[in-house]
Amino acid sequence: MEMSLYLIQKKVHRKYKRSTNATDLLSPDVLNALATTSGCSPQLQPLTCSSSCLAQKYRLINGTCNNRNNPRWGTSNTALARWLPPDYEDGFSQPKGWNPGRLYRGFKLPLVRDITNKILRTSNKTNMTEDHLYSHILVEWGQYIDHDFAFTPQSTSQVTFTGGVDCRNICHNLNPCFPIKVLQSDPRSKINECITFYRSSPTCGTGDQGTAFETPSNLNSRQQINAVTSFIDASTVYGSTPAHEKKLRDHSSKEGLLLTNPKYKDGSHELLPFVDQAPSPCFQEPNVTQNERIECFLAGESRANEVLTLASMHTIWMREHNRLAKALHRINPHWTSETIYQEARKIIGALHQILTMRDYIPKILGSQVSDQFLGKYDGYDETLNPTLSNVFATAAFRFGHATISPKIQRFDENYKEHPKYRSINLQNTFFSPWRIIKEGGLNPLFRGLLAKPAKLQTSDQMMIEELTEKLFTLTNAVALDLASLNLQRGRDHGLPGYNDWREFCELERLETKANLRKAISDLDLVEKIMDLYGHPNNIDIWLGGLAEDFLPGARIGPLFACLIGKQMKALREGDRFWWENPGVFTSAQRHELSQHSLSRVICDNTAITEVPLDAFRLGQFPQHFVQCDQVPGLNLQAWHENPQQVGSCGPPPPIEDGAFVLCTSSGLSIISYVCHHGFHLFGPEELICSVKGWSSDPPVCKGVVIERGAHRSDFPANKTTAPTS
């Protein structure tokens, strides 16, 4: 849509020597056709929320209608929220650094790769400082849960919009290419002049769309998309769109199961299915034949194959869903597969919320600051917008990149180095699902995550070289640099600078070198920052937040604590389906959910028999580990339902290409119908049981044409790149 409108305006400007808005030149029918073809149409249409009992009971897969008054809040494929106005060089679209000669407070912005080399990169020869409190699974949960609520797709085009030049072959700024320049003093300069970078896709109607010759005062600033739901809802397990959800489900099962791999197993445990793309872009075992290929795993989130430990986390939650679904089927044999699936999904979503807010966030923010921003849950606030903020997704929650260790540890039953499957360098685990299948499965990986400490970020140990010099070397012609990508992404998104965000959080602006030391005590680090940026107001938000001294008991400084705390409160209070919200679960169910833990999930879904009670807290084996039978779990009897409560009307009539769910309300037995993806419901959405029987004949599901459209990820697997967040 952006390019079509641009070309129309360009032609008009060239022929008639006047500027005009392209939308003024096109009829409503043509604009509608363009919006439909480009995929913008659904975002421009008004949204009507169902009032059915089912809509009150289960969240929709794409997050719509969570807030009944603002049905697009927190939904997938909508714009990230802005807590401050964007800061673009031209006022509406061009990122900082787009025009190389531009001065900021008398200084040129430093190249992001130069910042990496002089401040962020830590040599692999350095003995990394280990976190004495927390295990490496804390880092893994951070990445995994980030993918539950944040995913900014890149431009769908790999070539320049004008001229069609491949972005990998140019080193100057031309949409959507925003390459990362490499200085001649950089060892990388012998390999490449710049690192390829694609701008994030703008949301429909923002940035350059229809505005190429407007004045900045009339423009709608470029906004970026969040392709997944903002909510903590286990979209990593189930997907964020109906089409993706359909791919993940085992529709032949009567137990509401997710698909598993039909070819391979991990001992007696299931593995994720493969993607339907063959050959897939995942790296293969050396010397493998075409018939022995191990394709990428299919999960609820497209970045699941980024690293072995992330793929393992996705796998364990697929197993947990299927374990719960089978147990619910035994307890409630009268439940339909749809009811079982939705109830298991609801439990899994609640567990993601509990593990994140109870076990993870207080360790990151520190208990005192966590209480300050979150405190006790006071219920759902329909006025609070839960939509994920741009600064949170693009900067604050990327603090975890500085806590990643250079090795993936693999341990045996005694939590010692595995004699057969040794620990491996991080670079050799990117997009390599074959290692899970051919090298011992999940057990060695989870033991390593539980028993090895996280890397502790210090002022002189920010980012390991595995991430700055060797990122995705297996799938890329030229390795990427995660630190530079983070900085460039912040500029691409128009994020205001470090001091603007400190002011937003009611923290003191630090506008001199001396003042900077109030937040960053390491004088050497302050000197390096000032040498590069010239003025504190020029500092990129991600670097400034990362450089701050930790708060007491925390793993981040005050700025990131504010931004993360504010976002977490919005995700909790702004979610109508939050697990503690009265009516979502019964009090007995809430009690059982609160007993569960990540350690219990590991016990139930691997062959591991000894774990720490708190998986995130570092302990020594065997003294700080317990047998799995000593770890509290979930008693699903709290979900038992008496079949007699269904009513006197007999079995509800089934429908083809759809399903039904029992939804009791005000003492009435109500059956809510839903069609499978690709079908629309015709007829009554609900049937009510009365003394005369069901209130009407059931509806029918009729097929509809599904519009195709997809966004490419920050690091698409079908290219030479893969996601950064």
CB neighbourhood size of 119 (10 A): 21
Tell me if 676 sits within 8 A of 61, measured CB to CB. Answer: no
Tell me if 687 sits within 8 A of 655, measured CB to CB. Answer: no
Tell me if 450 sits within 8 A of 612, measured CB to CB. Answer: yes
Closest CA relative to residue 553, chosen from 367, 693, 298: 367
Query: From CA 659, how far away is CA 643, in angstroms rounded?
Result: 18
DSSP bridge pairs for 458: 461
Strand ranges in 566-699 using DSSP code E only, listed in sequence order? 610-611, 626-627, 658-662, 670-675, 679-682, 686-690, 693-694
- Phi then psi for residue 295, to 5 deg, are -80, 175
Give the CA radius of gyration of the chain.
Answer: 26
Tokens 């394709």 belong to 295
Catalytic-labelled residue, pool 136, 147, 244, 314: 147
Determine whether 640 is an active site residue. no
Tokens 């759809």 belong to 658
Query: From CA 261, how far away is CA 280, in angstroms rounded?
Result: 15
Q: Which tokens is 183 given?
A: 């200085």
Closest CA relative to residue 258, chosen from 248, 245, 271, 244: 248
| Helix H or strand E encompassing 349 | helix 337-354
Query: From CA 207, how far away is CA 199, in angstroms rounded?
Result: 12
b/e per residue 74-104 (b: at least 16 CB within 10 A): bbbbbbbbbbbebbbbeebbbbbbbeeeeeb
Number of H helices, E strands in the chain: 25, 22
Query: From CA 155, how far away is CA 149, in angstroms rounded?
Result: 20
Q: How far is CA 364 from CA 133, 139, 352, 474, 545, in A?
A: 11, 10, 16, 32, 14
Query: From CA 545, how far away is CA 666, in angstroms rounded?
Result: 51
Q: CA dihedral defined by 107, 110, 115, 117, rounded to 10 degrees?
A: -110
CB neighbourhood size of 336 (10 A): 19
Residue 403's contacts (CB-CB under 8 Å, 6 or more residues apart) are 131, 138, 139, 142, 454, 455, 456, 457, 555
Put the strands of the sheet holding 670-675 in their side by side order. Answer: 658-662, 670-675, 686-690, 693-694
Q: How far is CA 182 from CA 189, 480, 631, in A?
A: 6, 12, 52
Tell me if 256 sits within 8 A of 341, measured CB to CB. Answer: yes
Residue 247 CB-density burial (10 A; 0-12 exposed, 13-18 middle, 19+ buried): middle
Residue 312's contacts (CB-CB under 8 Å, 6 or more residues apart) are 436, 442, 445, 446
Query: From CA 599, how far away is CA 351, in angstroms rounded?
Result: 12
Residues carrying an active site annotation: 147
